[in-house]
Amino acid sequence: MSAEPTAELGALLLADGRLPTGSYSHSAGLEPAVRSGLTVEQIPDYLEARLRTVGLVEATAAVLARRQAAREPSGLAGVQAALLARTPSAALRTASGLLGRGLQRLGVRLFPDHPGVVELSRWQDAPLRPVALGVVGAAVGMDERQVARASLYDDLQTVTAAALKLLPVDPVEATGWVLDSAAVLEAMVGRALAVHDTADLPALAAPVVEQWSLDHETSSRRIFVA
Amino acid sequence: MSRPAPAQVSVANRQGTAQVTRLATSTFVRPRVLGVRGDRVSVALVAACATLLAGDDLRLEIDVGPDSCLELIEPSGTVAYDCRGGRAHWSAVIRVAEGGRLLWPAAPFVVSHGADVHRSTQIELAPGGTVLMRETLVLGRSGEVGGSLRASLSATAGGAPLLVEDLDLTDDRRRSAPGVLGTARVLATVALLGAAPSETAHPHETLLAGPGALRRAVTQHAHDAEAALDPTWERWRQAQPGA
């Protein structure tokens, strides 16, 4: 049971690609992956690889941010610092910061007095997406599990929605990829919730995803930001 | 069972001249001083036996004192052999004091078929301390799929997290997934930690959020990765403060 009446609705809202945060302009690395030769048949493996690496790292950061926003908002800076150190690609940090800014703007307008939102407003740098998601999730009343799942679901849907624009994909088949990811996604939710100390934030890396993000940054022909 | 003692190298700066303050041999590594030039000491990490086998625990402890400079040379690469169910460990703990510099162009680290290795690198930089390191992880000798490797690195600068990564290359199917390594078997990295170059000169060079920069090459063959990283190594060598 969630205390806030907006908890359940908020969980749907924050996972909705129609939310005005700019997520439609991102492909979670799919565009440079396709340019490097990734095929439609490989997308389910790409989704799973992301869930097990960057997806888990981000979902755990979102959970830690959700907890800090509720208990001790000054601790959010530590979550941001830990996630920055686990994001060596400057291109991926920029992309995550753009999405974080989008969520932060929503928070500032809708929950201006929430301590987590107030804390983010003090920062010079953009909060990374998972940090902002944790804070806005706290403001809307979502619990940790909802925040973790929203973070991972968003990653899946960003790839899947971008696939429809980049490759000849049947939208129903693409929806099936998301559903087929359920077992791995829930396993990652469980792992994210089990982390309690910022120092224990997972750091599982996907080196080729990082390389692709850097290739994409210097590419002159692109549809998506990242 | 207690862990075997680590091989140790400590250097200090005594009135402008580099001095080796500690050199300890372990079962696996025999550090040898190659030369002292001004504030810089070169030390070779000579393999004392055919490492790494199941149960082996190779440990290195490197301490670079204030305003001193240590260059580590590895005359040969490290090969982890078939562990037949056992696991080998490789770990390095590096501490660099204020104004200290470490250069470590590590030789290839090869994980043979059947090997199971955990590798860990821990770096603590005091403000103004820098590390320029290079590592080449190779999955399998020529023609092999390669064994299981888990490689983690954690670097802090002035106590703040700078670079933390955990490469889970234990499962062949998962590490071959698109976005992880795909079909590549070599992951080579140059990292400048504690200082950042003024600019990046190649699309695969990236600045960290903190003081540092990273360049990777993900390839089929080690020599391709090394050739790709050579220019970055040379440039960042010049960029390292005090170079």
Give chain B as a DSSP string: -PPPPPEEEEEEEETTEEEEEEEE--SSEEEEEEEEETTEEEEEEEESSS---TT-EEEEEEEE-TT-EEEEE-SS-EEEPP-TT--EEEEEEEEE-TT-EEEEEPPPEEE-TT-EEEEEEEEEE-TT-EEEEEEEEEESSTT----EEEEEEEEEETTEEEEEEEEEE-SHHHHTSTTTTTT--EEEEEEEESS--SS--STTEEE-SSSEEEEEEEESSHHHHHHHHHHHHHHHHHHSTT-
CA B92/CA B122 separation, integer angstroms:
6
Specify the pLDDT at position A1.
44
With tokens 């792992």, the residue in question is A191
Residue B135 makes CB contacts below 8 A (sequence gap 6+) with B106, B109, B121, B188, B189
Domains of chain A, earliest start first: 7-206 (1.10.4190.10)
Per DSSP, the residues of A145-203 read HHHHHHHHHHHHHHHHHHHHHHS---HHHHHHHHHHTHHHHHHHHHHHHT--SGGG---
Q: Kindly list the residues from chain A whose CB atom is less than 8 angstroms away from the CB atom of residue B204.
A: 211, 214-215
pTM over 0.90: yes
Tens of pLDDT, residue by residue over B181-191, are 999 999 999 99
- Quote the DSSP letter at residue A111: -
Give the β-pairing of B78-80 and B109-111.
parallel
Which one of B187, B216, B229 would you mutate to disrupt binding with A, by most A Cβ within 10 Å of its Cβ? B216
Whether the ω angle into residue B52 lies within 30 degrees of 0, i.e. cis, is yes
Residue B152: strand pairing partners: B120, B166
How does DSSP classify residue A52?
A: I
Contact call for A42 and B178, based on CB within 8 A: yes
- Domain map of chain B by residue range? 7-239
Rounded Cα–Cα distance for residues A133 and A198 (Å): 16
State the Cα–Cα distance between residues A83 and A100, nearest whole angstrom: 13
For residue A58, report the phi and psi dihedrals to the nearest 5 degrees: -70, -40
pLDDT band at B131 (very low <50, low <70, confident <90, very high): very high
- B78: nearest Cα among B40, B41, B117, B39: B117
The angle, 0 to 180 degrees and rounded to 10, between the axes of the packed helices A90-110 and A129-140 is 20
Cβ-based neighbours of A114, under 8 Å, separated by 6 or more: A69, A107, A135, A138, A139
Whole-angstrom distance, CA of residue A52 vs CA of residue A30: 16
Nearest to B165 among A82, A86, A90 (CB): A86
Q: Residue A142: how many CB atoms within 10 A of its CB?
A: 29
Asked if the Cβ–Cβ distance from B203 to A218 is below 8 Å, we say yes
Contact yes or no for A206 and B207 at CB 8 A: no
The residue type of A210 is: E
Measured between CB atoms, does A223 come within 8 Å of chain B?
A: no
ipTM of the complex: 0.96
- Judging by DSSP bridges, how do beta strands B116-125 and B212-219 pair with one another? unpaired
Q: With CB atoms and an 8 Å threshold, state whether B166 touches A202.
A: yes
**Residue A35 near chain B (CB below 8 Å):** no
The one-digit pLDDT tens for each residue of chain A (226 residues) are 446 899 999 999 999 989 988 888 999 999 999 999 999 999 999 999 999 999 999 999 999 999 999 999 999 999 999 999 999 999 999 999 999 999 999 999 999 999 999 999 999 999 999 999 999 999 999 999 999 999 999 999 999 999 999 999 999 999 999 999 999 999 999 999 999 999 999 999 999 999 999 999 888 888 898 8
pLDDT, tens digit (0-9, with 9 covering 90-100), for B11-41: 999 998 899 999 999 999 999 999 998 889 9
Exposed, middle or buried, B192 (CB in 10 Å: 0-12/13-18/19+)?
A: buried
Q: What is the pLDDT of residue B12?
A: 96
Predicted pLDDT at A36: 95
Q: Side chain identity at A224, as an amino acid letter?
A: F
Instruction: Tell me how far apart the alpha carbons of residues A24 and B204 are, in angstroms, rounded to a whole number.
Output: 26
Inspect the interface and report whether the beta carbons of A82 and B164 lie closer than 8 Å: yes
pLDDT, tens only, B41-53: 999 999 987 679 9
pLDDT recorded at residue A3: 66
A205: contact with B, CB 8 A cutoff: yes
CA distance linking residue B81 with residue B202, whole number of Å: 35
Helix (H, G, I), strand (E, B) or coil at A38: coil
**With an 8 Å Cβ cutoff, are A208 and B179 in contact?**
yes
User: B64 CA to chain A: closest CA distance, Å?
Assistant: 23
Which of chain B's residues have a Cβ under 8 Å away from the Cβ of A210?
Answer: 206, 216
How many A/B residue pairs have CB atoms within 8 Å?
A: 95
A219 interfaces chain B, CB cutoff of 8 Å: no
For residue B216, pLDDT beyond 60: yes
DSSP state letters, B76-105: S-EEEPP-TT--EEEEEEEEE-TT-EEEEE
Q: Which of B155, B179, B208 sits opposite A49 (nearest CB)?
A: B179
Task: Give the model's pLDDT for residue B1.
Answer: 58
With an 8 Å Cβ cutoff, are B178 and A38 in contact?
yes
**What is the spatial distance between Cα B119 and Cα B109, in angstroms, rounded to a whole number?**
10
Query: From CA B166, how far away is CA B148, in angstroms rounded?
Result: 14
